[in-house]
Structure 1
């Protein structure tokens, strides 16, 4: 079996389509379970962020899994076949491993090098573990991806321009963010909103000039207790908007929170910046046409190109990812070959013991020392017979023929598949 990923991101699909495909936690869990119900999938995990939706599965059959997982994604996003083909990408086996490692390292992000994706990959794994939709294969893959992401940020400066989408949005807003008199409204109280508040406070913004509005006032009060900001009930958002200079919106609402009429009434000709980090979008696109109103959303952020000075760091992270991919795949291949080698040696030992027992039954007068001599002689013969095949399979373990050779070894020596599977299961449990 091999890992497969079917997904779409800001690189493959327009924001309008990503909005249709976006998943909250409950929808991601449902999609994972639906994937497991198909005939080709044994493990599943979903990564859903503001600029990507990806379904990772451990698949028994490539073509069957691609068709089934793609169908599920198309059904969720209400896409027809042509729309799906134009928007999705598929990675399989080695390519899928490399893709996830690049995602975790920030190489595939809308904001190159941003570290926020690490938390999102961790959330995807935690959710899949809680729902028992992942097993040894995807668990090991995601854990390694997280380690690689942390290593890339620790050993390079790849995130120095914008460590998160929030940071990129605030940077794009310009000098108004640093003005001591600027008043802020943060709409939402989830992870992104919490990060927005933390980032503003870390930048020296007075907490008393930050207002948080959320449909669940309790969650907004959690930010009040943590950062000392103010909170307003959701029905007070219009009054708060009228007294705000910069809005950071990340609610996860199904419709527009800040439509044209609401913003027009609050702005009334003054300068207002709305940073929309939600998917689906919180700010109606036509709001950008209002006088004095600036909208910074994912479309704007995806068009910002500030990556030239990161070239050296990017190259360094790519080298880290490439080396880690090779190491991971070698270990994966070894874990598949080793059970075959162990089963072969176990079979040889069983044959030796069976022959020793036969000799003892036919020549009952043999002494203990003579029996041991017979056993040692048979062991040497058996070892010589299996030495070349086992050495060869270990030599091939890092190459593309490794698994094929292991399968051939199993067939040629008529190994008990149950014994091979038993060794594999033990190894998987220990991992």
Structure 2
């Protein structure tokens, strides 16, 4: 079996396609069910965020799994496969592991370093676990990805970089409004991105921050945290009229601010300009808002273009170094785990031979003293241990260099081993320990 990652993201897919392929939690679960119910896939986790929709799958065969996942994704999104294929990326095995760690660390996000992805990835894994769509392979991979992401955010200052998406939006607003220190900012949505927007706006020194959210309690808490105010969801029209900058990120399936809403706000402002920053996917702010004379709409597409021209910062380089080291360590550990059943089976076979020979010796020499019998058994164990020492060490060394599989297979063939035997793998026997000096002598 092998890991396959297939998806599309802001790196290679137009915003319109990302919107069309965006899936809510229920749709993600149904897609996972369809994938694991196919012929060539045994595990599946679907991750869908504001700038990506991707499938992690443990497949029985690469080409079969690729076909099954591609067709299921097209069916779930309603986007014809022919329209999806030019924009899909495929990562296999080692590259898939590296991709998962990079995603969890925020290195693959439009707003590099954003921490929201950790929660989104955790929620996706939890859903797949509850529904039985994930098994030992993907569970181990994504659990480790979450640990790597947490380490990156703890050991580097990459969180500072994650503000780049909101910062780019505010910079665009400044191009339209001039100084934004006198601007009144309205944040619609109090989730992760809404909280980031409110915090960033407050820190750059705008005149005021107002938060509106469907859940009033969450809006009140966020407003209090940033030194702003909150308003009820039903007062959106009045709040729009008062705001110079509107930042929206709600996760709603339809638009939150219509063109008529924006037109009414513009009329009440006597021509004073407004900037609408849409951080949502699907979009919260009607595209037609940008056609109004006094309104400027900045969406994820425009922000992504602005950010694409920025060079790599030191925090990102540090994060990439951590991810690279973690991928290498994970691959080494996984290779060692892959050969462990063969090593256990080899030692189990050796233990069986020793036990048989000692029983045979007991029948043939009933007068042998306990002391002499113990000495004979120790001598036999020493011989067996010396014989097993070199192949055991060698298979572990080769596993670390990625060559353990072929060597383990050769051992299985030569000694007629069955590493899949549950009793052997669950409780691998160990011959009595012998000093290294004795092994090498």
Q: TM-score range by the shorter chain?
A: 0.7 to 0.9
Aligned to 2:395: 393
Shift in Å at residue 398 of structure 1?
1.6
Tell me which residue corresponds to 1:84.
84
CA-based RMSD: 3.0
1:169 aligns with 2:176: no
Q: List aligned pairs for 1:25-424, cutoff 5 A.
A: 25-163=25-163, 165-174=165-174, 179-205=180-206, 209-217=208-216, 219-223=218-222, 229-268=228-267, 269-305=271-307, 308-419=310-421, 423=425
- Asked whether the 8 Å contact 1:104–1:146 carries over to 2, the reply is yes
Deviation track 1:391-428 (CA, whole Å, cap 9, x = no partner) reads 221121122321222233223322234436862699xx
Residue segments in structure 1 that go unaligned for 5+ positions in a row: 427-431
Question: Aligned partners of 2:263, 2:179: CA distance in 1, in Å?
Answer: 25
Is the CA contact (8 Å cut-off) linking 2:28 and 2:46 kept in structure 1? yes
Q: TM-score, normalised by structure 1?
A: 0.87
Tell me the distance in 1 between the aligned counterparts of 2:110 and 2:192. Answer: 18
Secondary structure of 2:20's counterpart equals helix
Distance 1:231 1:159, change over 3 A: closer
Larger deviation: 193-202 or 356-365?
A: 193-202
> What residue is the counterpart of 1:12 in the other structure?
12
Secondary structure of the residue aligned to 2:263 is helix
Do 1:187 and 1:213's aligned partners in 2 also have CA atoms closer than 8 Å? Answer: yes
1:108-158 Cα distance to aligned partner (Å, 9 max, x none): 222334444334334434444455543443333233333433444455555
Number of aligned residue pairs: give it: 424
CA contact (8 A) 2:2 2:58 kept: yes
Structure 1 residues 424 and 22: CA distance shift in structure 2, 3 A: farther
Aligned in 2, Cα 1:407/1:120: closer, same or farther, shift over 3 Å? same
- How much has 1:81 moved relative to structure 2? 2.3
Point out the more displaced range, 397-406 or 375-384. 375-384
Asked whether the 8 Å contact 1:214–1:220 carries over to 2, the reply is yes
Contact 1:336 1:424 in 2 (8 A): no
Mean Cα deviation higher: 30-39 or 334-343:
30-39
Secondary structure at 1:252 match in 2? coil
Cα displacement (A) at 1:301: 1.0
**Structure 2 runs not aligned, ≥5 long:** 429-441
Question: Secondary structure of 2:297's match?
Answer: strand
Q: Determine the C-alpha separation between the residues in 2 that align with 1:177 and 1:229.
A: 22
Do the aligned partners of 1:158 and 1:310 also contact (CA within 8 Å) in 2?
no
Q: 1:7-41 CA distances to partner (integer Å, 9 max, x unpaired)?
A: 11011211101001112333333333433333433
Measured in 2, the distance between the counterparts of 1:212 and 1:315 equals 35
CA distance in 2, matches of 1:201, 1:21: 33
Distance (whole Å) between structure 2 residues aligned to residue 171 and residue 46 of structure 1? 34
Q: Decide which moves more: 101-110 or 274-283.
A: 101-110
What is the CA distance between 1:46 and its match in structure 2? 2.6
8 Å contact 2:189–2:211 — kept in the other structure? yes
Cα distance in structure 2, aligned partners of 1:178 and 1:140: 49
Q: CA deviation at 1:338?
A: 1.7
Q: 1:193 to 1:177 in 2, by over 3 A?
A: farther
CA distance in 2, matches of 1:177, 1:142: 45
CA distance, structure 1, for counterparts of residue 414 and residue 61 of structure 2: 24
Seen in structure 2, the aligned counterparts of structure 1 residues 28 and 407 have a Cα distance that, compared at 3 Å, is same
